[in-house]
Amino acid sequence: MPKLAPLMFMGTGSDVGKSIITTGFCRIFKQDGYHPAPFKAQNMANNSYATEDGLEIGRAQAVQAEAAGVACHTDMNPLLLKPSSDHTCQVVLNGKPMGNQNAYQYFRTEGREVLRTEVNAAFDRLAKRYNPIVMEGAGSISEINLRAVDLVNMPMAIHAGAKVILVADIDRGGVFASVYGSIMLLPEAERKYVKGIIINKFRGDIRLLEPGIKILEDLCGIPVIGVVPYYKDIHIEEEDSVALHSKQIQASHGKVNVAVVLLRHLSNFTDFNRLEQDPRVHLYYTSNVDEVAKADIILLPGTKSTLDDLYELRRNGVAQSILKAQRNGATVVGICGGFQMMGQEICDPDHVEGSIERLPGLGLLPVSTKMLAEKITRQVKFKFLDEIDECNGYEIHMGITTPMLDAEITHLNSLKDGSQDGYWISNRCFGSYIHGILDNEVVIDYLLQPYTAKLNEQPFDYVTFKEQQYDKLADHIRQYVNIELIYQIIQAS
């Protein structure tokens, strides 16, 4: 296949759909016989993923790699910022945590060139192995206050020699002003890299938009290469947990009601995407005590701050609601930080998470957790209980969980390397450190088995479902974006 220039999607702001558009083009290039790979120099998200070599990247780049049909690698997202508060985040470089920094420390100019060298080197390595590289910016293309320290937007495009497509969200209003303003705020030398505009999330009659598009193209001297309609019938994993607030739906009749406890620092919410799409299940996110009490199954998710979220569950009454529901027959399952909360206690003598040294857990499992500074990140293969099928997942956690003295308890999972994970009390009470455990059919069938009287639908094939969604996204973009022009733009000179 001919060598193509990198294609980079930048936005007029955050949440305009850059990640989804990037995912769609990863699948389009794969369909067209190329060997693409995604790249985002710097991502900010608590929703992360473990690579095959046990390192950490943003989940969005793992999804994009899946759409491209390639294994994810830290070179696809060399710099990951994981917020732990409104002002502080953990900095993960090339898959390994470097410690916590506040926003002012991170964005200072001192030491910035070290990070720039690292992200540029990651791109250079990736570009030697894949064709084309489908790149994504962060936030706005015109963050003028951060121009001197920017690693992810125009400086990255210039280093890569990328052809830039500006993505704008018409659904939030002011699309013409946001596009024009974003381009005009760029230095003149940078504007030449912007080769096209995509208007995203459109609703309505395209004919009403056409006069404005013509004026915009004349003003900017850049073509609008697509107007992509808003969709509801394509399901791609979300990057940010902001989308969860639209999923706070009350319990439903006729299906298994699954409540995911909506923690303040919830992470890796994609653990529940497979269940959410299962036709046998009605899944919703909630921190309402009454909605928790109505659930057949309560899922305690991962969190970036286990002790702080556990304290909040006790303060707002959700902890008591979980315990009452469990006594009344509900299933309670914890994953990662949620698994830690299910124990008798969580201890943090070295202040890994903060000032709280110990909190009593929910007392559902006879285990104790000690927080450790070293983070465990790895992909795992395991067998669930006594099942013979091999399952897949990944671990990203800080801490070790062990049984209390003389506790009679069974390990949940047997890992391929001979180690054990998680603990089981009954088919209605167990926990695990493994993210993605609920993507495995044998686990889902076990989880839903106590509720067979409610089930009329057939088991759900999530792998096939995801592949279908990537293809549907690619078809959607092909229908509304001038793909021929995209290829003309990225033909390497």
Picking from 217, 159, 178, 161, the residue whose alpha carbon sits closest to that of residue 14 is: 178
Strand intervals (E) in 84-149: 88-93, 96-102, 133-136
pLDDT at residue 104, rounded to an integer: 58
Give dist(CA 140, CA 151) in Å, integer: 13
Give dist(CA 68, CA 71) in Å, integer: 9
Identify residue 468 by its one-letter amino acid code: Q
User: Under a CB-based contact definition with an 8 Å cutoff, are residues 76 and 57 in contact?
Assistant: yes
Whether the per-residue pLDDT at 416 is higher than 70: the answer is yes
Q: Note the pLDDT tens digit of each residue in 259-311.
A: 999 999 998 989 999 999 998 999 999 999 999 999 999 999 999 999 999 99
Give the other-Cβ count within 10 Å of 437's Cβ. 27
Structure-block tokens of residue 488? 């003309």
Among 59-63, 204-208, 284-288, the least confident range? 204-208
Whether the per-residue pLDDT at 64 is higher than 90: the answer is yes
Give dist(CA 14, CA 7) in Å, integer: 19
Give the other-Cβ count within 10 Å of 213's Cβ. 17
Q: Which member of 72, 89, 336, 391 is catalytic?
A: 336
Q: Which member of 265, 282, 397, 435 is catalytic?
A: 435
DSSP state letters, 385-447: TT--SEEEEEEEEEEEEEEPTT---EEEEEETTS-EEEEEEETTEEEES-BTGGGSHHHHHHH
Q: What is the largest CA-CA distance in the chain?
A: 76
- Give me the mean pLDDT over the 80-109 stretch: 79
Do 7-230+468-490 and 244-456 have matching folds? yes
- Give me the mean pLDDT over the 462-466 stretch: 92
Topology at the third CATH level for domain 7-230+468-490: Rossmann fold (3.40.50)
pLDDT at residue 47, rounded to an integer: 86
DSSP state letters, 339-356: HHHTSSEEE-TT-SSSS-
Which long-range contacts does 446-452 make (Cβ < 8 Å, 24+ apart)? 446/384, 446/385, 446/387, 447/297, 447/331, 447/333, 448/256, 448/280, 448/281, 450/331, 451/256, 451/296, 451/297
Can you give the residue ranges of every domain in the chain? 7-230+468-490, 244-456
DSSP bridge pairs for 37: 133
159 an active-site residue? no
pLDDT at residue 251, rounded to an integer: 57
CATH classification of 244-456 is 3.20.20.70, yes or no? no
Give the other-Cβ count within 10 Å of 453's Cβ. 6
Structure-block tokens of residue 42? 């710097």
pLDDT at residue 158, rounded to an integer: 96
Q: Note the pLDDT tens digit of each residue in 134-193.
A: 999 999 999 898 888 899 999 999 999 999 999 999 998 899 999 999 999 999 999 999
CA atoms within 13 A on the CB side of 82: 29
CA atoms within 13 A on the CB side of 191: 14
pLDDT at residue 45, rounded to an integer: 86
3-class SS at 343?
Answer: coil
207 DSSP 8-state letter: G
397 an active-site residue? no
Whether the per-residue pLDDT at 484 is higher than 90: the answer is yes
- Give me the mean pLDDT over the 193-214 stretch: 93
- Give me the mean pLDDT over the 234-255 stretch: 66
Q: Note the pLDDT tens digit of each residue in 341-380.
A: 999 999 999 999 888 999 999 999 999 999 998 999 999 9
pTM of the model: 0.82
